[in-house]
Amino acid sequence: MIEALFSYDFLQNAFLSGLIIGVIAPMIGLFIVVRRLALIADALSHVSLAGIAGSLYLSQQVVFFAGLNPVYLGMAAAVGGSLLIERLRRVYRNFEELAIPIILSAGIGFGAIFISLAKGFGSDLVGYLFGSVSAVSRQDLTVVAVLAAAVLVFIYLFYKELFTLSFDTDYSRASGLNGGWIQILFMVMTALVIGASMRIVGILLVSSLMTLPVASAIQVAKSFRSAMVLSVILGETSVIAGLVAAFYLDIAPGGTIVVTAILILLAVLGGKRLLGLRHPEAEEEAA
Amino acid sequence: MQGSLVKLTDVSFSYGSSAVLKDITFTVNPGEFWALIGPNGSGKSTLIKLLLGLLKPSRGTVELFGKPAGDPDRKERIGYVSQKSASFNSGFPATVLEVVKSGLTVKRGLFRRFTEDDSKAARRALQAVGMEDFTGRNIGELSGGQQQRVFIARALAAEPELLIMDEPTVGIDQQNSASFYSMLEELNREHGIAIILVSHEIDLVTDLASHVACLNHTMHFHGGRRDFAKLGDRDLSKWYGHPVRLIHQKEGGGSDD
């Protein structure tokens, strides 16, 4: 594979994109998981399906869209969906989680309509659903790199606010931290990560790359910082192992990356059990 | 010394058509330790929200540090501690030091990262609550009483002049809550921090505090502890609307929202 990496541009693109999303997806994912919003990533990725399918359909109809990378419309849909979720969470104050199935169904609904209109699944669409090693263009890689830079700057600048808001929303409000627009920015960043990741892991599996490495990391990490570092290390491990396996076995990388992340999670849970380490929640239940 | 920290003048508040607070006038001066007592649903938590500026009074004025409660710079000067477990997830991956430093987020300001000074301030705050040996521990591994000390430290890190606590010992066993209260007394005495403590535990807090305010929709009593001690159980029972005995009187937990 090493020689192939040097000889084929598409492999370089896929590999570099993978390395980048292996950093940003678990980083944003950590904030999502600790706020118990893991399903939001799912809802947004399904909304991006509507955008992708819409773009693929329009590319058959309108010349302008034929030249447009479907990732853009997919990402725009995810950003729009993220803002809608925030709105809906306010409308249903007492049923905040209701915003997630509403947006998720809307995404799949529109996706189904556009897929039917476009006369079914092409190999293009399968690539978007489950990821692809061969479909990542140089342009895709550039987009991923730019988005990742935006996400990293955001986390760097707002790390303490994001931590404070995630740890204790009531306290944040009482101490005068105005989290409203930071939350909206955060949702937009989540949508951007989904947009950046879908080429490699696929729409259906993006949320796994945001949550599975984090699920493993918080089993062992004591501090938030170490949870973040560990999530990124485990995310990267999953991406690298998954891409290599996908290349040799000629299967969709989304599947191999996510299955690797699941194996890591099982290993962490099993290892903890063997070593007799216990999570604080388990101790509380035992007490 | 400056003027009052908190000054409520003829404050009323209602949720829709139901009046929660009526004609409250109440002043807290520097260094005072107030116990705010009253039965469930008497409006104690609403009063705290008014103090924090989370609610606006329907009538009357709330002043903090001599300025209207809407003024943005006042919040750094107030430390707030809510009921235990009110809004925190015990599985959260965070160390004690990380949690205490989060109390400095607003003070440090947007676009600025924490500095070494912030870590030092956090360690000092942990020392003040006797938790300096726990900096690297995961917050979820601590007992309820220890967690609540950490949350006090989070409130203290920004060096507030006033500490507002809403039922901080709910869910903490009696022995731990006793040592928790003596720590509060020390903070008040040695660090000169004014305290407003909302509690169900009438005996304990009225022994501890310098001043007592008894609330049941309206302020039935506010004044020094000695004056409060002169009151009989009859007065308290009348205000509470049910029999209250001041010796070993204890009510169950729960919020009064």
State pLDDT tens for residues B163-191: 999 888 777 777 777 888 888 888 899 88
Cα→Cα distances A209→A21, A265, A276, A285, B95, Å: 9, 12, 27, 29, 25
pLDDT (0 to 100) of residue B248 = 41
DSSP for A92-125, written as a single string: TGGGGGGHHHHHHHHHHHHHHHHHHHTTS--HHH
Residue A200 has pLDDT above 80, yes or no: yes
Which of B106, B111, B172 would best serve as a mutation to test chain A binding (most A beta carbons within 10 A)? Answer: B106
A34 → chain B, closest CA residue = B92
CB pairs under 8 A between A and B: 93
CB within 8 Å of chain A, chain B residues 181-220: none
DSSP for A21-60, written as a single string: HHHHHHHHHHHHHHTT-HHHHHHHHHHHHHHHHHHHHHHH
Average pLDDT, chain B: 85
How far is A43 from A100, CA to CA, in rounded Å?
6
Report the residue from A175, A226, A283 with minimal CB separation from B80: A175
The one-letter code for the residue type at B16 is: G
Instruction: Read off φ and ψ for residue B33, nearest 5 degrees.
Output: -120, 105
DSSP for A188-207, written as a single string: HHHHHHHHHHHHHH-GGGHH
Locate B68 and state its tokens: 């209207």
B53 → chain A, closest CA residue = A174
pLDDT (0 to 100) of residue A164 = 94
List beta partners, residue B62.
B8
How far is A248 from A240, CA to CA, in rounded Å?
13
Q: Which residue has the higher pLDDT, A19 or B244?
A: A19
Q: Could you tell me whether strands B78-81 and B162-166 are parallel, antiparallel, or unpaired per DSSP bridges? A: parallel
Give per-residue pLDDT as tens, B228-254. 888 878 788 888 888 877 654 434 433
- Whether residue A174 and residue B82 make contact (CB cut-off 8 A), yes or no, is yes
Are A258 and A212 in contact by the 8 Å Cβ rule? The answer is yes
Percent of chain A past pLDDT 70, that is, above it, reads 95
N- to C-terminal Cα separation, chain A: 52
Q: How is chain A split into domains, by residue range?
A: 2-206
Residue B139 has pLDDT above 80, yes or no: yes
Q: Could you tell me whether strands B67-68 and B59-64 are parallel, antiparallel, or unpaired per DSSP bridges? A: antiparallel
In the Cβ-directed half-sphere of B240, how many Cα atoms lie within 13 Å?
A: 19
A 10 A CB-CB count for B10 gives: 12
> Which stretch of A2-16, A98-112, A185-199 has the lowest confidence by average pLDDT?
A2-16
Are B244 and B233 in contact by the 8 Å Cβ rule? The answer is yes
Closest CA to A217 of A236, A200, A203, A204: A236
Give per-residue pLDDT as tens, A59-77. 888 888 888 888 899 999 9
pLDDT (0 to 100) of residue A109 = 96
Chain B residues with CB-CB distance to A159 below 8 A:
113
For domain B6-88+160-240, is the CATH number 3.40.630.10? no
| 3-class DSSP state of A236 | helix
Rg (CA), chain A: 19
A173 → chain B, closest CA residue = B54
Query: What average pLDDT does the segment A78-104 reach?
Result: 89
